[in-house]
Amino acid sequence: MFDLIWYLLSPLTSISLSSRESKSINNTPVLKSVNIPYYLQGENEDSIVLQIKSLTYAFHRYQIANLKPFLKQNTEINDYDFDYIQPEKQLKASKSSSRNGILMNERLDEVYNITQFKKQLINDPYRILIDYSKNKFRSLLILSEDPKKYNFSEIPTLNNSNFKFLVLEPNASHAEYTDILVYKSGIYSEHRVNDKIKIQILDNIISKKLKGPGLSFNKDDKAFIIKSYVEKLAFYVQTQRIYKSSLKLKEREKKERLHKYASENTIQTYKNLKLERSKLTIKEALADENSDIANKSEYLYYSDTETPDSQASSSTSSINFSKLFTPEEKQFCHDHSRLAVRIRIERERTVVSTKSA
């Protein structure tokens, strides 16, 4: 911990610059003795020491752990911005403060190029998905080399059990990628996603990236795999939330129709409700949801991505979706949910591309 604090409090320590790093992205003069972070991934990533210093500063400066699930619209800048669970904890740019022993002020904001950090985190077409910015940040904490090679006595911590630096060398094995991304990274730990789903998503990405037996990955490959994993997992989580919300809405509509045609004297239990439903020729589900999962490559019927709030609300439901809707009805609803998410992402892709042009 002492090593980390020492590094953070000595941002003007001279570090040799590459030709890429000697220029500011805003084409403004840069002190030659300062290594400015760009928060890029792959072969152009910042040095391990600089990644640790800058990401630690940005984590506390922007209170990443305090972010709400969705970004907010900032009318002043006509763009998305961070939104906080506890806004009073957000540090004003004009103030100098300290959190967990980390000094923060305008000068250090420039040194650690936090404007570029925010740009890298927010200017992303997937930004409109739930908890995406928070989990994209988690992916940045996966280092390509062990910090111990750079005089760190141990891997630094952020003093938060939900966010931690990890080491994943680019040429690591398939099993090591799975261990870090699925079991240790905490990516989308806010949502209950079955590990089998995570592994299937990752396996599909890695299998497509490998071009032949015996080939290993480089830093660009590693960056692509991690980025794709976060995006596909975010897409899955958002789709499932819309899908289940749609089913809940349809469930209420069906219940209202059933009660409309039911006698108050006959509908008193769920068993009676089933009888009335059969009289209205509503089809019973043909199979349990779990029997369909194995045949669906898109993980269609998994329903384990609830947040605590949604989990609580679902527990109050008296009728299981699998007994109320046919597989065809659920397939139709799921397809529309996927389409809704895809349309939003593509719309944001256009916006982001226009702003970057």
pLDDT value of residue 270: 59
Q: Is the pLDDT of residue 318 over 50?
A: no
- What is the mean predicted confidence (pLDDT) over 338-347? 98
Asked if residue 117 belongs to a domain, the reply is yes
- Give residue 204's domain range: 48-85+102-239
Counting every residue written for the chain, the total comes to 357
What gap in Å lies between CA 266 and CA 90, rounded to an integer? 57
Asked if residue 133 belongs to a domain, the reply is yes
Q: Is the pLDDT of residue 98 over 80?
A: no
Q: Is the pLDDT of residue 34 over 90?
A: no
- pLDDT (tens digit per residue) in 117-151: 999 999 999 999 999 999 999 999 999 999 999 99
What gap in Å lies between CA 252 and CA 237, rounded to an integer? 23
Asked if residue 125 belongs to a domain, the reply is yes
Of residues 249 and 301, more confidence is placed in: 249
pLDDT value of residue 186: 97
Total H helices, total E strands in the chain: 13, 6
Residue 119 host element (H or E) = helix 114-122
Residue 114: which region, alpha, beta or left (left: phi > 0; alpha: psi -120 to 50)? alpha
Calculate ∠ Cα 196-299-330, nearest 5°: 145
Burial (CB < 10 A; 0-12, 13-18, 19+), residue 290, is exposed
Count how many domains the chain has: 1
Q: Is the pLDDT of residue 75 over 80?
A: yes
* pLDDT band for position 269 (cuts 50, 70, 90): low
Burial (CB < 10 A; 0-12, 13-18, 19+), residue 129, is buried
Asked if residue 32 belongs to a domain, the reply is no
pLDDT value of residue 24: 35
* pLDDT band for position 356 (cuts 50, 70, 90): confident
Q: What percent of the chain has pLDDT over 70?
A: 69
- pLDDT (tens digit per residue) in 165-179: 999 999 999 999 999
Asked if residue 134 belongs to a domain, the reply is yes
Burial (CB < 10 A; 0-12, 13-18, 19+), residue 255, is middle
Asked if residue 36 belongs to a domain, the reply is no
pLDDT value of residue 103: 86
With a CB cutoff of 8 Å and minimum separation 6, the contacts of 243 are 333, 334, 337
Q: Is the pLDDT of residue 16 over 50?
A: no
- What is the mean predicted confidence (pLDDT) over 53-62? 96
pLDDT value of residue 253: 87
- What is the mean predicted confidence (pLDDT) over 229-250? 96
Asked if residue 215 belongs to a domain, the reply is yes
* pLDDT band for position 275 (cuts 50, 70, 90): low
pLDDT value of residue 89: 58
The listed range with the strongest mean pLDDT (147-156, 212-221, 281-290) is 147-156
Asked if residue 334 belongs to a domain, the reply is no
* pLDDT band for position 355 (cuts 50, 70, 90): confident
What count of Cα atoms within 13 Å lies in the side-chain half-sphere of residue 288? 3
pLDDT value of residue 357: 74
Of residues 54 and 280, more confidence is placed in: 54
